[in-house]
Structure 1
Amino acid sequence: MAMNKKLFLGYKLRRLREGKKLSQAALAVLLEVSPSYLNQIENNQRPLTVPVLLRIAKVLDVDLATLVEDEESRLVADLREALNDPVFGSGSIGLSELRNAASASPELAKRVLTLYQTFRQLDERMQSLTENLSSATGEERGGHAHFPYEEVRDFFYYCNNYFGPLDEAAEALVEEEGFRLGQMHNDLVAYLENRHGVRVRIVAEDDTAGMRTFEPGAGSLSLSALLSVPSRTFQLAHQVALLAYHERIEEVVAGAKLSSDDARSICRVGLANYFAGALVMPYMAFANQAKALRHDIEQLQSRFGASFEQVAHRLSTLQRPGARGVPFYFVRVDMAGNITKRHSATRFHFTRFGGACPLWNVHEAFAQPGKILVQLARMPDSISYICVARTVSKRGGSYLRPDRQFAVGLGCETAYASEVVYSAGLDLASEQAAVPIGVNCRICERDDCRQRAFPPIGSHISVDENNRSFVPYLFA
């Protein structure tokens, strides 16, 4: 095993040791090192060597990839974005200092982000109230309406969008019941009726309030006729999760330590959706097929009877310890550029506040509906990604209710290009071939971008009345 950089994982090692209720001296004996040497490692005064790293993985029963994974990088990116806000002053905090903070106390860093997020919600609420008072129209809208969703989204994000107990339970159920992959709709209908006394019926839109309506007293589950077969199958699997695996979902929700009942309810729905995806596309069967097909989304759709969005999302969850798949990011964007879903097992950083980079191909997808677009993109940290984007539609069902359009994005680092069919034809060796994208304009470091919507926070603008550049903003 080769390492290109020194590994300082002291704070992570300390958390793992304390989680196992081991003293520093006891762990030193197990690792066959001196207590003083282990103390230096835990205080980041000495880097980890490969032999010690391997012994740690074995003694503490932790996956090696998990141990060396730079899990603090996404936390550092979020902190950097938040702390660039002028409310914290004009000076910037160095990356090394942010890394130290995220590594030493990740929970404290997350609470700082929560505090900042709450501040932004209150600030937006105040601005909205001011606008309403000045215009004397409309009613005040609650500023915290979206906060529970963001809290749950962060919980999924920092769990790498993988929940082992639910994933393994879904896989086991498929084996026990003999559900047929790619033809699971009728199997789930029969399972709900035979095991839970729930009858499924397909109803016209006027007969139901939504896509899925469950009536416990009547033992009835109604699904909208507008749903495609993959969507109906997914909703059936969602209902299985709520009925048969309620306790396991509650255990995960309790461990999330969410701050409100609304957030806990949202989390339950999200976890039931996670279970549904894991049931329709069981982990090992799906991971093996994904690898064999080089992660061709359309072929995986056919094999598992799933939609484009369902397959893309499932690919981003293949992070089981000991059987990890290619780390993908997954995102869904609406036509206004709002990110409505985001998950990432990569170093790709999504914006938490504000819009996404206009050069990213998820925006271009709306101009070519239904076509798969592939982009070679490079982030400011010099990491290059293979970015796949395509539009998906949600049926409206009538002329006066047009279909809703979203763009789904999926991507991975170019280091995995040989395992991904979408790398075909890309000039991976050329730096010039990669489109330089960023997180979003407010924190992007690129000073030569012609698509920049506004200058980054904290920058000093240079204005020359005698010259006009192709670049919207010049910096002193």
Structure 2
Amino acid sequence: MKPARKLFLGARLKRLRRDLGLKQTDMAAQLGISASYLNHLERNQRPVTATVLLRLAEAFDINVKQFAAEGGELAGPDQLGEIFSDAMFNDLNIGRQDIMDLADHTPGIAEAIGRLYTALTEQARRAAPTDQSDPRSLITPETWVRDYIQSQRNHFPELEDAAELVGGALANPLSMMDSLRQRLREGFGVDVKMATSEELGGATQAFDPSRRTLFLNSLLRPENRAFGLAYQLSLLEFDGMISKLVADAAPPDEGIAKLLSMSLANYAAGAILMPYGRFLEAAEGTGYSLDALCGRFNVNVEQVAHRLTTMGRAGAHGVPFFMLRVDPAGNISKRYAGESFPFSHYGGTCPRWHLHLAFQTPGKTISQLIETPDGERYLTICRTIGRPIRPTLTDDHLLAVGIGCHVRHAPRLAYANGIDLKGGSATPVGPACAICPRLDCAYRATPPAGHQLAIDENRKTISPYPFIGS
């Protein structure tokens, strides 16, 4: 039996203390420890004990599992393991313990390695960067914004509180469109008009500041029209707050700053349509049923799925979901996580996960219990969704959304009814073929990085790339 690994969480402790605006003496007093001991903990000269973790939970209302999780940092052991599985490092024989030591003792260096590797992989996908003054511009805008949002656990308390006030002031969700129109008109002098795709140049919506008019594409689905109104209201209502959040994030260029601003406005729009308190109550009351929540708030499956990943309010946590959105070709266009994320940070998903199967059963909700190589289990729900505007060609209008959570949260989900979460059969999945350690998998598409192949021309195996396991 392996001894329990010591937890060195210095960087996370320091970040928590700074986020709370506390001095070491203040935090130490609330934890009932000496300031010198806290200093040792923050410098990773002492491991964090179970007692300290419990006191952190009591004093600051944190999720202990989440705080102590290996993936808590932007470059935790799992992500570093994925990086060092790259073929360029094959001759270095970097072991799991080395990776864990790096993540535990020098988290700043670990994060720097993560940024460098991300920049390297992104640079290989595109032309030379336009901005040579800031090396962070090597990372594509969508990756930079996604990583920043994930570093905040996809939860922005200031926006949540402000959006909840606005959402609460609006009328019954059944008349949300009228309420949003009225708020835009009376609060900001903005009128809303419908326009054709040709008039908008293919855009889904466009705001004309000089005419104080918001134009919505007439082909938008009803729930996307409401979201468009909430998005524009967020830009106007929370302009100062969003600008400050963007400035604090310090994006490397103006394009990324605007993309982050749009992302935060989208976040706020979802929070207006689905105010935190009412949404959490409804989610818990319906067993997190996608259909029930769509009906309750007049939104669509994707909007609900995205909202479910943001429920991290202190003292009122929802189930921490992860979410992916893919097209039929497997391209990932959304990737968010409220807690752990069992798939690759840089690649795609495991073919044994039923996300892609959803395209074969449009409109049907597919529940699946999956198990990762480390023995952790997740309950997932996959389903197709329509694009905001249905294209002329009817064979490419679908996307698929997959959400999931760790089995420890699954009993709160209606989708868990009838499923043996611990003793039942689970589909074995991996993070991505190149870093998956599973020996016998008929779905393996690439050889595993860092492992020696064990091919015998006189013997065929279920996997096209048999290898010697660790």
TM-score by length of 1: 0.87
| 8 Å contact from structure 1 (residues 81, 443) kept in 2 | yes
More displaced 10-residue stretch of structure 1: 38-47 or 73-82:
38-47
Q: CA deviation at 1:458?
A: 2.0
After superposition, the Cα gap between the structure-2 partners of 1:470 and 1:40, relative to the gap in structure 1 and judged at 3 Å, is same
Distance 1:457 1:125 in 2: 24
Q: Does residue 1:194 correspond to 2:195, yes or no?
A: no
Distance 1:214 1:371 in 2: 36
Instruction: State the match for 2:211 in structure 1.
Output: 218
Letter in 2 for 1:254: A
SS at match of 2:316: coil
Instruction: State the match for 1:464 in structure 2.
Output: 456
Q: Does residue 1:344 correspond to 2:337, yes or no?
A: yes
SS at match of 2:216: strand
String of CA shifts for 1:35-90, please: whole Å, max 9, x gaps.
554455445455445554454556xx632316862354153222221222122343
| 8 Å contact from structure 1 (residues 9, 41) kept in 2 | yes
Q: CA deviation at 1:339?
A: 1.2
| 8 Å contact from structure 1 (residues 84, 457) kept in 2 | yes
SS at match of 1:64: coil
SS at match of 1:114: helix
Q: Does residue 1:64 correspond to 2:65, yes or no?
A: no
After superposition, the Cα gap between the structure-2 partners of 1:126 and 1:85, relative to the gap in structure 1 and judged at 3 Å, is farther
| 8 Å contact from structure 2 (residues 119, 138) kept in 1 | no
Q: CA deviation at 1:385?
A: 0.7
More displaced 10-residue stretch of structure 1: 409-418 or 78-87:
78-87
Instruction: State the match for 1:132 in structure 2.
Output: none
Letter in 2 for 1:101: L
| 8 Å contact from structure 2 (residues 440, 462) kept in 1 | no
Q: Does residue 1:240 correspond to 2:227, yes or no?
A: no
| 8 Å contact from structure 1 (residues 332, 406) kept in 2 | yes
| 8 Å contact from structure 2 (residues 441, 462) kept in 1 | no
Instruction: State the match for 1:185 in structure 2.
Output: 177
| 8 Å contact from structure 1 (residues 183, 305) kept in 2 | no
Q: CA deviation at 1:428?
A: 2.0
Instruction: State the match for 1:93 in structure 2.
Output: 94
SS at match of 1:300: helix
RMSD: 2.7
After superposition, the Cα gap between the structure-2 partners of 1:460 and 1:326, relative to the gap in structure 1 and judged at 3 Å, is same
Q: Does residue 1:279 correspond to 2:280, yes or no?
A: no
Q: CA deviation at 1:28?
A: 4.8
Instruction: State the match for 1:305 in structure 2.
Output: 298
After superposition, the Cα gap between the structure-2 partners of 1:300 and 1:92, relative to the gap in structure 1 and judged at 3 Å, is farther
Instruction: State the match for 1:81 in structure 2.
Output: 82
Q: Does residue 1:265 correspond to 2:248, yes or no?
A: no
Instruction: State the match for 1:111 in structure 2.
Output: 112
Distance 2:411 2:297 in 1: 23
| 8 Å contact from structure 2 (residues 170, 176) kept in 1 | no
After superposition, the Cα gap between the structure-2 partners of 1:68 and 1:157, relative to the gap in structure 1 and judged at 3 Å, is closer
SS at match of 2:292: helix
Instruction: State the match for 1:422 in structure 2.
Output: 415
Distance 1:19 1:392 in 2: 37
String of CA shifts for 1:432-455, please: whole Å, max 9, x gaps.
x10000111011111111100011
Q: Does residue 1:250 correspond to 2:251, yes or no?
A: no
Q: CA deviation at 1:293?
A: 0.5
Q: Does residue 1:208 correspond to 2:195, yes or no?
A: no
| 8 Å contact from structure 1 (residues 393, 403) kept in 2 | no
Could you list the runs of 5+ residues in structure 1 that have no partner in the other structure? 128-143
Q: Does residue 1:12 correspond to 2:41, yes or no?
A: no
Q: Does residue 1:164 correspond to 2:163, yes or no?
A: no
SS at match of 1:81: helix
Letter in 1 for 2:309: S
After superposition, the Cα gap between the structure-2 partners of 1:279 and 1:83, relative to the gap in structure 1 and judged at 3 Å, is same
Identity of aligned residues (%): 37
| 8 Å contact from structure 1 (residues 394, 403) kept in 2 | no
Distance 1:145 1:205 in 2: 34
Q: CA deviation at 1:25?
A: 6.1
Give 1:367-446 correspondences, 5 Å limit: 367-394=360-387, 397=390, 399-400=392-393, 403-430=396-423, 433-446=425-438
Distance 2:416 2:298 in 1: 25
Could you list the runs of 5+ residues in structure 2 that have no partner in the other structure? 129-136
Distance 2:40 2:266 in 1: 44
Q: CA deviation at 1:228?
A: 1.2
After superposition, the Cα gap between the structure-2 partners of 1:45 and 1:308, relative to the gap in structure 1 and judged at 3 Å, is same
Distance 2:325 2:140 in 1: 19
Distance 2:151 2:112 in 1: 13
TM-score by length of 2: 0.88
Q: CA deviation at 1:161?
A: 0.9
Q: CA deviation at 1:114?
A: 2.0
Distance 2:393 2:33 in 1: 72
